[in-house]
Amino acid sequence: MNGKIEVEHLSKTFKKGDVQAVKDVSFTVEDGEFFAFLGPNGAGKSTTVQILTTLINATGGKATVAGHDVIREPEKVRRYIGVALQETGVDPDLTGRELIELQANIFGFSKTEAKKRAEELLKIVQLTDSAERRIGNYSGGMRRRLDLALTLVNEPKILFLDEPTTGLDPSNRMAIWKELRRLNEENGTTIFLTTQYLEEADSLAHRISIINDGEIVATGTPRELKAQIGNDLIALTFSSKEEEEKAERILKEHMDPSDVILQNGKLTVYVEDGTKQLLELVRLLDQENIEVATVNLSSPTLDDIFLKITSEQAEKEGEVHGE
């Protein structure tokens, strides 16, 4: 048994609403790798997690988790994985300790083993002090941490975490990040994490796949992806449409045209070094008598990456169809 995830041409169409949530997705996560699935709302992240964790069936393709086919051998897959779904699944009437012990008992631990495991896990997620309280009274952050503890009960070879830090405050987020890093580095646990936060994927994952509208649009190490995107982003607005278009034309002449995107009255420019290039840009436009209304320098967000990647795709398709 290994901690590998292999996905080939996976698809899922929901009959209800005829939604194609996952479209021909393929990727491999190596044993011991920390892999992030980065994508916006509705991208298909949770659907993929649910297929890989045996909760729902794919409508096409094939997936192997820990060496077992998720469709043909779901019982075997369930033994080796730990799963924290996007919505935490806890019984609010039990205490934290009772729930962890129950989970351990279900995985075949004896009573004493289960008690011991609960004690260890409560300590790891820093819930020892609240262990005797009912989960219904836990805060969102505490529930998330308990959820993480529950996923670790069976010492899984592979962890699936669907947006484990969404909605958490920075200190809870840091606590979870720290624990995930430890699990991956010390225990060699393979981790499949989904997130909407670029910085989260960036700081945790060895490799990232960006998923948008059910399709993987880019895959690489954080460094590779960023190099593709540019480190900084300059957003410019102008007081007239003519100036906008003129500025776009001029900037496209002076740099890689795919780094210049005009959308909704905003001209976005991806650059290597924002502070240096900002001045050059403004000077260049000034020489052409174009008046800049506002300027904004920032780091790219997930939205910006999508904008860039999807516009590149559109351009490529345009070339293909145009010639």
Partner 1 sequence: MGNSVWKDTWLITLRSIKTTLRNPFSFIPNLMISAFFLLVYEGGLSGISQLPMFEGANYLAFILPVSIVSAAIGGAGGAGQGIVKDIENGFFSRLLLTPASRLAIVLGPIIAGMLQLFIQTLLIIGIAFLLGLEVETGFGGILFVLLIAIGWGLAFAGYSAGVALRTKNAQAAQAGTFIFFPLIFLSTTFVPYELIEAQWLKVAATINPTTYIFESMRTVLIDGWIFWDLMQGVIAIVIACTITITFAAVSAKKAVSRG
Give me the residues that bind ligand ATP (CB under 6 A), please: 14, 16-17, 19, 21, 39, 41-47, 86, 196
| Of 219, 200, 194, 209, residue with least CA distance to 83 | 194
Per CB under 8 A, the list member of 74, 187, 219, 252 interacting with partner 1 is 74
CB of 105 to partner 1, least distance (A): 5
Q: How far apart are CA 122 and CA 117, in angstroms?
A: 9
CB of 260 to partner 1, least distance (A): 45
Tokens 């699935």: give the residue.
37
Of 84-92, 119-127, 198-206, 298-306, the segment contacting partner 1 by CB under 8 A is 84-92
| Of 204, 180, 116, 179, residue with least CA distance to 153 | 116
DSSP-derived secondary structure for 71-82: TT-HHHHHHHEE
- Name the β-bridge partners of 219: 209
CB of 75 to partner 1, least distance (A): 6
Q: Which does 150 bind (CB under 5 to 8 A by kind): Mg ion, ligand ATP, partner 1, none?
A: partner 1
Q: Which does 105 bind (CB under 5 to 8 A by kind): partner 1, Mg ion, ligand ATP, none?
A: partner 1
Q: Is 166 in the site for Mg ion (CB under 5 A)?
A: no
Task: Give, as ranges, the residues between 41 and 70 that touch partner 1 (CB under 8 A).
Answer: 53-57
DSSP-derived secondary structure for 125-178: TT-GGGTTSBGGG--HHHHHHHHHHHHHTT--SEEEEESTTTT--HHHHHHHHH
| CA-angle at 40, arms to 35 and 46, nearest 5° | 60
Q: Is 88 in the site for partner 1 (CB under 8 A)?
A: yes
Q: Is 46 in the site for Mg ion (CB under 5 A)?
A: yes
CB 240 within 8 A of CB 284: no
Q: How far apart are CA 64 and CA 56, in angstroms?
A: 14
Q: Is 131 in the site for partner 1 (CB under 8 A)?
A: no
Q: Which does 17 bind (CB under 5 to 8 A by kind): partner 1, ligand ATP, Mg ion, none?
A: ligand ATP
Binding site for Mg ion (CB under 5 A): 45-46, 86
